Structure 1
């Protein structure tokens, strides 16, 4: 079975909370932050309900999960205080990861800020050497993430990742986290040349180093270097391309983790589409949601087709919002919400459905004929 799951929260009862949420989506793997992703504040390991979480995972047949380091750490910084904080925090986070029983911790390599890429690569490698040297008692790997290329971040090309790895002494503990949105935004053609991209990666870095794949669609055209995720099928990658990625023989067996954004009218009603996205990519929509769900998706297709509303409509709406600041300010809603409004106005689905249930059906609609 495809090993796919979602990024989940790690609060209250720690791993127990995370496992419960992941299982509710039908996940067969998942990714956690051991605290807030925006800071380095962490609770003691013995308060994280690790054994309770592991018991839930075993019952659900989940045998591999992933930890993600917080975004705030920056091994590429020329400022000693920032760099030293990153090294010290990552050493402790790796020990926490080991205590959780996880083998790979995903890390954004870092940004060179006021220096240059060459400096950033060397500084990151220096930091990784220190982090790995200080955690030799563990078997935890650091999975460097492929980055989109915004700002001065490093890891936007396979060449940069290879250069970092070459400078690290214990690089047998360096793995890679591929991110579909990031690779697309960095300029790699995952839609029409997936085999070529993977072949290039294999030659420069080695597919054997890929330990996890983040699965996200993108709100921007290829090469935009923006890093803006969108639900599967509603972006420039599209459902077919992402389906090809998660089922590609060269990536078989890796954990695939969704980081797609929550959607909804406001913060109180926002919900992730993880459950339906997982079922779509596994080909288990009928088993998970039933025949009435598929009937509703068919109704959406029949409703939207005469109006010329399709994935191209969504992409053009992304472009409108990016190009017209006034339009963004006046109506900042994203295309998914515009489509939701049309469904409500058309009255084509049962009034008993919740906003989340309607958005799940819209997400499935993006998959087109493949879902029916």
Structure 2
């Protein structure tokens, strides 16, 4: 069965997210670990987490995906901002130990004029300063659209980060369909070619999750504007080919389209009927 869910609000807690997922026939979900435009995080509620874990087991909710706040920039030119990114991610991974065995996704960051090489080294340095064998969460680098000075538009950049992380067995990649399309990878007309390139550069074994989004922009626009499934330049048929592709269909898919719960429910039905 296709493992698919959407981005849910964590404001009401883990159990509420599980129930929202169940209500729209999702069997996974994504959530922000804290304020996506800031750094504040709610205190963990162990009792709520325990109730969620039981609910997830009873309702076959699979591997969930936590998303770091957008403000986290591991390769900022400002040392204080790099320290904030490190401290935030370390705290997030400690909180993830309440739900071990899941994944944590983050945007690699923007090098803000320092150059890609410097950005890659800063990102790897941060990860090497955080990861320990005691963490039970897989940390995912997200593919990026390439707007501004983002690191991670090219698969080669993600591979460079992975190669410099000492505990890289705890690392993986989350492929965002909107981002790779906006970044110049033609997943509409050459999906097999893109996946072959990903495998050659990074390795498909590193691909742990997919953000399933349409795009408001044409191929290679480098703008990162998500669209509802079938209302963008990628289109529903191409996204259906992604969820049914032999090397991808067993992965978890997370919708980040501009929708409410009812809109997500319709997209989940559409993808399940692909």
Tell me what 2:5 maps to: 5
Q: 2:97–2:135: 8 Å Cα contact kept in structure 1?
A: yes
Q: 1:261–1:272: 8 Å Cα contact kept in structure 2?
A: no
Pairing 1:65–2:64 present: yes
| Displacement after TM superposition at 1:36 (Å) | 2.0
Q: 1:66–1:102: 8 Å Cα contact kept in structure 2?
A: no
1:1-372 maps to which residues of 2 (within 5 A)?
A: 1-12=1-12, 14-46=13-45, 49-132=48-131, 135-262=132-259, 273-283=263-273
2-structure distance, mates of 1:108, 1:163:
15
1-structure distance, mates of 2:241, 2:79:
43
Bigger CA radius of gyration: 1
2-structure distance, mates of 1:16, 1:112:
37
1-structure distance, mates of 2:147, 2:24:
31
Residues 188-229 of structure 1 show CA distances to partners (whole Å, capped at 9, x for unaligned) of 000010000000000000000011100000000000000000
SS of 2:192's partner is helix
| Displacement after TM superposition at 1:271 (Å) | 5.9
2-structure distance, mates of 1:9, 1:96:
17
SS of 2:45's partner is helix
SS of 1:212's partner is strand
| Displacement after TM superposition at 1:47 (Å) | 5.7
Question: Pairwise CA RMSD of aligned residues?
Answer: 1.4
| Displacement after TM superposition at 1:102 (Å) | 4.3
Residues 152-202 of structure 1 show CA distances to partners (whole Å, capped at 9, x for unaligned) of 110001011111111111111110000000000000000010000000000
Q: 2:75–2:109: 8 Å Cα contact kept in structure 1?
A: yes
Residues 42-81 of structure 1 show CA distances to partners (whole Å, capped at 9, x for unaligned) of 1222367111222222222113211111111111112110
Distance 1:43 1:271, change over 3 A: closer
Q: 2:72–2:85: 8 Å Cα contact kept in structure 1?
A: yes
2-structure distance, mates of 1:34, 1:149:
24
Q: 2:171–2:206: 8 Å Cα contact kept in structure 1?
A: yes
2-structure distance, mates of 1:234, 1:272:
16
Specify which structure has the higher proportion of helix: 1
Residues 115-171 of structure 1 show CA distances to partners (whole Å, capped at 9, x for unaligned) of 111111111111111121xx4311212100000111111000101111111111111
SS of 1:196's partner is helix
SS of 1:233's partner is coil
SS of 2:174's partner is strand
Total equivalences in the alignment = 274
Q: 1:67–1:102: 8 Å Cα contact kept in structure 2?
A: no
Gaps of 5+ in 2: none
Q: 2:101–2:136: 8 Å Cα contact kept in structure 1?
A: no
Distance 1:57 1:145, change over 3 A: same
1-structure distance, mates of 2:261, 2:209:
24
Residues 279-330 of structure 1 show CA distances to partners (whole Å, capped at 9, x for unaligned) of 01001xxxxxxxxxxxxxxxxxxxxxxxxxxxxxxxxxxxxxxxxxxxxxxx
